C-alpha cells in the first residue's frame, strides 16, 4: 500500500512537470546553451517548489495555504515581472560554446536552481490543485506516512521528468553551432516575455 501511494505520487509529479510552460522553456534553453547539468538543476528547482506546495496541501497547513492564495495577485505580478526580466536577460545574453568553470560555474548552477524555485513558488494556486488531487486519491490531511510518501513521490516524479528532458535535449546541443544557439536564445526570450506579459495581464484583470 505504501509503495502504491509513492508510485501515485510519482505519476502525479510527472503529470505536473510534463506540460510545456515557462519553466520547461527555461530548462530547454539552459540545457542547449549551457549543458545538461544547468537544465537539470533548473528542473530540480521546480520539483522542489512542487514538493513544498504538495507538503502544504498534504499536511493540511490551511493557514499557510490561505495566506498564499490570498496573496495570489501580488505573487502573480512578481512572477510575471520575473519572467519578463528573464526574457530580457536571455535576449541580451550570448550563447556560450561551453559553460563557465570554477567559482563562476558554482554561482551559475545555484542561480539555475534558485531562479526556477522562486518562479514556481509564485503560483500558489498549485496548492488548490494538490488539495483537490489528494482528496480524489483518498489521502486525508493528518495521515503523515501517506502524506510524506506522496510528497516524496511528487518530487521524484517531477525530478525524473526534468532528468529525462535535460538528457534528451542535451543530445541536440552537441550538434548545434553558436549561430543556431543564438537563435534559440532569442526564441526562448520571446516565449518567456510572452508568458510574463500574459501573467501581468491576468493580474491586472
More confident residue, 158 or 199: 158
Q: What are the tens digits of pLDDT across the range 33-59?
A: 888 899 999 999 999 988 888 888 777
Contacts 24+ apart (CB under 8 A), 95-103: 95/33, 95/178, 95/181, 95/182, 95/184, 95/185, 96/33, 96/34, 97/178, 98/35, 99/34, 99/35, 99/37, 99/38
Query: Which pLDDT value is given to residue 137?
Result: 63
C-alpha cell at 47: 520539483
Give the SS3 label for residue 67.
Answer: helix
From 130, 1, 3, select the one nearest 60 (Cα to Cα): 130
CA-based end-to-end distance of the chain: 45
DSSP letter, residue 141: T
Q: Which of 102-106, 136-140, 190-194 has the highest mean pLDDT?
A: 190-194
- Please report how the helices 144-173 and 36-58 are oriented relative to each other, as an axis angle in degrees rounded to 10: 160
More confident residue, 154 or 99: 154
In whole angstroms, give the CA distance from residue 202 to residue 47: 25
pTM for this entry: 0.76
Query: Which pLDDT value is given to residue 155?
Result: 92
Indicate if the pLDDT at residue 5 is higher than 60: yes
Contact 45, 86 (CB under 8 A): no
Percent of the chain with pLDDT over 70: 80
In whole angstroms, give the CA distance from residue 52 to residue 88: 28
Indicate if the pLDDT at residue 105 is higher than 80: no
Q: What are the tens digits of pLDDT across the range 106-121?
A: 888 898 899 999 888 8
Please return the burial class of 143, using the count of CB atoms within 10 Å of its CB with bins 0-12, 13-18 and 19+: middle
Please return the burial class of 79, using the count of CB atoms within 10 Å of its CB with bins 0-12, 13-18 and 19+: buried
Query: Which pLDDT value is given to residue 97?
Result: 47
What are the residue boundaries of the structural domains of the chain, listed by start? 2-204
Amino acid at each position: 500500500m505504501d509503495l502504491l501511494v509513492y508510485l501515485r505520487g510519482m505519476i502525479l509529479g510527472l503529470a505536473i512537470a510534463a506540460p510545456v510552460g515557462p519553466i520547461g522553456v527555461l530548462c530547454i534553453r539552459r540545457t542547449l546553451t549551457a549543458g545538461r547539468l544547468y537544465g537539470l538543476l533548473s528542473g530540480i528547482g521546480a520539483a522542489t517548489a512542487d514538493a513544498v506546495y504538495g507538503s502544504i496541501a498534504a499536511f493540511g497547513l490551511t493557514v499557510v495555504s490561505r495566506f498564499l492564495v490570498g496573496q495570489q495577485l501580488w505573487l502573480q505580478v512578481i512572477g510575471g515581472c520575473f519572467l519578463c526580466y528573464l526574457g530580457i536577460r536571455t535576449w541580451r545574453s550570448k550563447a556560450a560554446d561551453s559553460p563557465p568553470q570554477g567559482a563562476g560555474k558554482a554561482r551559475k548552477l545555484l542561480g539555475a536552481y534558485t531562479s526556477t524555485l522562486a518562479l514556481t513558488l509564485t503560483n500558489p494556486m498549485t496548492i488548490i490543485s494538490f488539495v483537490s488531487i489528494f482528496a480524489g486519491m483518498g489521502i486525508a490531511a493528518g495521515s503523515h506516512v501517506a502524506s510524506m510518501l506522496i510528497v516524496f513521490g511528487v518530487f521524484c516524479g517531477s525530478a525524473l521528468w526534468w532528468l529525462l528532458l535535460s538528457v534528451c535535449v542535451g543530445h541536440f546541443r552537441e550538434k548545434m553551432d553558436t549561430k543556431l544557439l543564438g537563435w534559440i536564445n532569442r526564441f526562448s526570450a520571446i516565449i518567456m516575455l510572452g508568458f510574463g506579459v500574459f501573467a501581468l495581464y491576468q493580474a491586472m484583470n
